[in-house]
Amino acid sequence: MTISVSEQTQVVIVGLGYVGLPLTLAFGEHFSCTGFDINSARVEGIKGGHDLHREVSSEQIKRSSVTFTTDPKCIRNADLVIVTVPTPITDDYEPDLNLLTSASKLIGMEFRKRTASETPPVVVFESTTYPGCTEDFCGPLIERESGLVSGDSFYLGYSPERTNFGDQEHSLDSVVKIISGQNSEVEQFIFDAYSKIATAGLHLAESIRVAESAKVIENIQRDLNIALFNELALIFEKMDIDSSAVFDAAATKWNFNRYAPGLVGGHCIPVDPYYLTHAAEQAGHTSKVVLAGRAVNEAMPAVLFEKIMALCTENGLTIETASILFLGATFKPDVSDLRNSKTLTLFGKLSGINSTTQLFEPNVNSEVIGKIVTQLVTETEVLNHRWDLVVIGVEHSKYSEELKDHLFGDKSRTELVVDIPGMLRDHDTISSPYLYWRL
């Protein structure tokens, strides 16, 4: 039996998170598409036009013809099933494949009930994982639950997600998509399907393992480069040299690649390296460079906490009783994602020693963040208060000019500012009444 893409192709996306929902809406513009998730509250919210993660607008959802459901029956006779479930790590820094396991088993159970005359379905995994996971781990789970044979009665593919949350420029349709499949026929099927949504182009990897490897090293490269710049910033700090000035000077050379030091959080960069080092261990290799970079970045919240403590002591502030405002808790600017946020880790260290430390986070629904942090303030409360210490954790574009003027203007009511992302880069060119430190 042959497989091919047509207007009648039935597409199902498994997992409606940060990756899955935009992908579902994109495929829904070209195919009969269903978005499936086991989280009923999430599905009902989407049906009502509300994306809790704020990655897509209410208008995008409402004008779509996509069906959203918690009923796995939609998988049964689908032609293309795309899996976008998260792939976190355990407390021991090992791959946590629980969600991939559940998704693969569920697909297999539904395929067992598949109509016999249907052409073989294609299952494409987008979740970041280690080389070999799709074919050696997920495929056998589907086989066991379905009674079908991978490469014969269903096919596998891998197309790593490249979503950059909060980035309007590098979106799903503007980034080259990597695709791969078990054989040339499957590759063509996946190519024809994804070419409808990836207008920037497709790159056909020579194997599923190559595609898996390419994805995981994309984030490892960033992790290592940020670790280098974090370490450089700390070295130059001890030498009383402005690291930003050093980076500005070095960046005048054509082949110098500049990165910004800072806190490395989220669900990708600090997670993906452990998937490759796990696979490396299985292959008999103990990684050194990759894990060294991880160690540097994992230590940054503690390093910055100690620096803040030292700055307070040097400038006569008692951190245990100081009035402290912390700006931002997400893992990076202009997103609502709190997963593995090292900014939130730093806030936790400060609030652990000063329970009155207040957090202002305009990008996250108060009900969501309120389950994690109780010391939340509104912008009005920020404006009505004098602060001994303001820590800028994340540079959100939602910070109003009034708020910035109140905290950092010429008549600021702030004693000490710790600027981790370098939001006030022009600080030295203006007259400010507060003490200032940036990474």
Mind telling me the catalytic residues?
Answer: 268
Tokens 């450089």, located at residue: 232
Q: Which of 153, 85, 146 is nearest to 117 (CA)?
A: 153
Backbone angles phi, psi at 179, to 5 degrees: -130, 155
CA atoms within 13 A on the CB side of 59: 0
What is Dmax (Cα atoms) for the chain? Answer: 78
Instruction: Give, as one character, the DSSP assignment of residue 270.
Output: T
CA distance 160 to 178: 6
CA distance 430 to 425: 10
Strands 387-392 and 358-360: unpaired
> Are 19 and 51 spatial neighbours (Cβ–Cβ below 8 Å)?
no
C-beta atoms surrounding 378 within 10 Å: 11
Within 18-57, strands assigned E span 32-36
Within 1-56, strands assigned E span 10-14, 32-36
CA distance 277 to 115: 41
3-class secondary-structure state, position 220: helix
Instruction: Give, as one character, the DSSP assignment of residue 137.
Output: I
